[in-house]
């Protein structure tokens, strides 16, 4: 994977809400400043679990859509995974009484 640490400009941070590709790159970063965390696009984040047969562990990749996921994989990896699962977490209220 070739993601490098980068400093995000104010303009880039503001465009994370509308630029799906930039948001996908941003979400797959490893470290974030306090300022960057305020712009983290949780509402549009999707979680994908990717498995390559030659890798012992699955990798989690965040993307804004399946199209952006595949674009990210093509840009950052030498080949596509052997399987991809979208991880969906759902919360719902339970009546306790």
On whether the pTM is more than 0.85, the answer is: no
pLDDT attached to residue 9? 83
For the chain, give the number of residues: 97
Residue 6 reports pLDDT greater than 80: no
The ranges assigned to domains in the chain are: 10-87
pLDDT attached to residue 83? 97
39: Cα separation from own chain's centroid? 14
> Within 13 Å and on the Cβ side, how many CA atoms surround 4?
2
pLDDT digits (tens, 9 = 90+) for 19-76: 999 999 999 988 888 888 888 888 999 999 999 999 999 999 999 999 999 999 999 9
**φ and ψ at 67, to 5 degrees?**
-65, -45
pLDDT attached to residue 79? 94
Cα separation, 89 vs 45, whole angstroms: 12
Element housing 35 (H / E): helix 34-37
pLDDT attached to residue 1? 46
């Amino acid at each position: 994977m070739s993601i490098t640490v980068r400093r995000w400009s104010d303009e880039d941070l503001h465009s994370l809400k509308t630029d799906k590709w930039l948001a996908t790159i941003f979400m797959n970063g490893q470290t974030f400043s306090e300022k960057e965390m305020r712009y983290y696009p949780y509402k549009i984040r999707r979680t994908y679990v990717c498995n390559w047969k030659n890798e012992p562990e699955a990798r989690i990749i965040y993307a804004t859509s399946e199209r952006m996921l595949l674009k990210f994989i093509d840009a950052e990896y030498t080949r596509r995974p052997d399987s991809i699962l979208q991880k969906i977490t759902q919360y719902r209220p339970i009546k306790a009484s």
